[in-house]
Structure 1
């Protein structure tokens, strides 16, 4: 377990057509965010999401190729071992026009219609993602 304080809070809006991961990664790089927590809401024009198949240890991708509301968006910012660039790990729950919910791990190609975000920039130890043999995922290494 690690303990953090909040250094500052950034509140902003992404532009229509932005790739949500690339845009948030750009904000993180511009503001030199090493560790942060992300929350967002709004809508997407289309979404590329994935579900992690625990038995096969692979992401199963799917596309929601229609407009959807962002019912909840949450994630974090840290680093991946061997990289100095911020890594945005983001999950979305989306609602379609019939009120059904879709959700998963956000992939490149998720396009913004309108999106407001809040990033809590944290102060504390570095969090770096390393391959985890038990799960097959890149997870924060225990401190």
Structure 2
């Protein structure tokens, strides 16, 4: 069963932490981020090599935001464009601050439970999906 959620973030809110707070508040056990339209005054993005991050000053337009939502962790990837149209992307980190607005649409999966557990192959905590009885 899929349950939609939509909400708006405003000036000064941390994008990642606010989404996680919403997931916790709504007691979501499994979800995904469907869309986000908005802008940031600053962004912190971890690059694919896992050791480097970009710290970008705004104004930045959010082009895409997607990911999986667990009760303890949100794994989100973002792409943003600066005032010259240059695009940057990677893992969304704390410290990415909404400038004017961010309109968030989520899907909650009431028949699933998501968690993250260590994976010896990757060396990271990875998504674990379990079905739950309704």
Aligned to 2:97: 111
TM-score by length of 2: 0.88
TM-score by length of 1: 0.83
Aligned to 2:48: 52
Is 1:91 aligned to residue 77 of structure 2? yes
Is 1:125 aligned to residue 112 of structure 2? yes
Structure 1 120/142 Cα, relative in aligned 2: closer, same or farther at 3 Å? closer
Deviations along 1:60-91, whole A, 9 cap, x unmatched? Answer: 2120122100011111101xxxxxx4311111
Name the CA distance, whole Å, in 1 between partners of 2:109 and 2:11.
28
Runs of at least 5 residues in structure 2 that lack an aligned partner in the other structure = none
Q: Of 22, 37, 44, which residue of structure 2 is paired with 1:41?
A: 37
SS at match of 2:77: strand
Runs of at least 5 residues in structure 1 that lack an aligned partner in the other structure = 79-84
Aligned structure 1 segments of 4 or more residues deviating by more than 3 angstroms: none
Name the CA distance, whole Å, in 2 between partners of 1:32 and 1:74.
20
Structure 1 142/134 Cα, relative in aligned 2: closer, same or farther at 3 Å? farther
Deviation at 1:142, TM superposition (A): 6.6
Aligned to 1:61: 53
Name the CA distance, whole Å, in 2 between partners of 1:118 and 1:59.
30
Aligned residues: 128
Aligned to 1:71: 63
SS at match of 1:37: strand
